Amino acid sequence: MELMKKNIPYIIIAALVGAGVLAQNLFNAPPKLLPTATVTSTVQPTGTPTVAAPVGQCAYTWAYHNAEELGAMIDEGMRDLNPAASGNASFYGEDCVYPDGTSTFGAMETDFYVRIPVDDLTNEDTLGEWLSQVLQVVLEFPTELIQGKYGFVEFWFEKSASEQLVVRVPIQQYMDGTHGITGAALFRMFYVEP
């Protein structure tokens, strides 16, 4: 009996060490590998030749890519509305970067940016009319040029280099919820005071 009393602390210590090792193995499981990406073919609407992506693991990073064709279209559309206005477009998504430095891009949405000179940053009717006119231009673009989903149009109303007003309009929200609203009412739907 005396021998058993002397061994109890050692039995407890052994049990605790065993439980600790078990817990460490459970909570520090080896990291899961990223899925392997294999691209067998790629179709691009422009007819340019494509190169198969490298095989293996890749790391994903958020990325913007210039949407050249849409950028030229929105810029031309803006200059038709006002020769001093301008626009561009980009695709937002993820780059899958491989260990050799190459990458593939997956677009999640298409975004537009416009710069419009104005005389008055407080005239909500005029600003709202700009929102309506520009969004109508964007919605006339062929949908096959939109990668991912519709993103937003970011309006930069500029009175001077130091006086600007920025309004971001989610395109799908505009399509779903405006139903003929224009002018100041449209402006107030999307303007968020800083």
pLDDT of amino acid 9: 57
Separation CA 149–CA 190 (nearest Å): 19
| pLDDT single digits (tens) 56-70 | 789 999 999 999 999
180 pLDDT band, cuts 50/70/90, is confident
Between the alpha carbon of residue 9 and those of residues 14, 16, 18, 23, 128, the distances in Å are 9, 11, 14, 21, 79
**Cα 151 to Cα 149: distance, rounded to the nearest angstrom:** 6
State the pTM of this model.
0.70
pLDDT, tens digit, 9 for 90 and up, residues 69-83: 999 999 999 999 999
Q: Is the pLDDT of residue 98 over 50?
A: yes
Contact 131, 123 (CB under 8 A): no
Q: Which residue has the higher pLDDT, 51 or 98?
A: 98
**Taking 80 as the threshold, does the pLDDT of residue 133 lie above it?**
yes
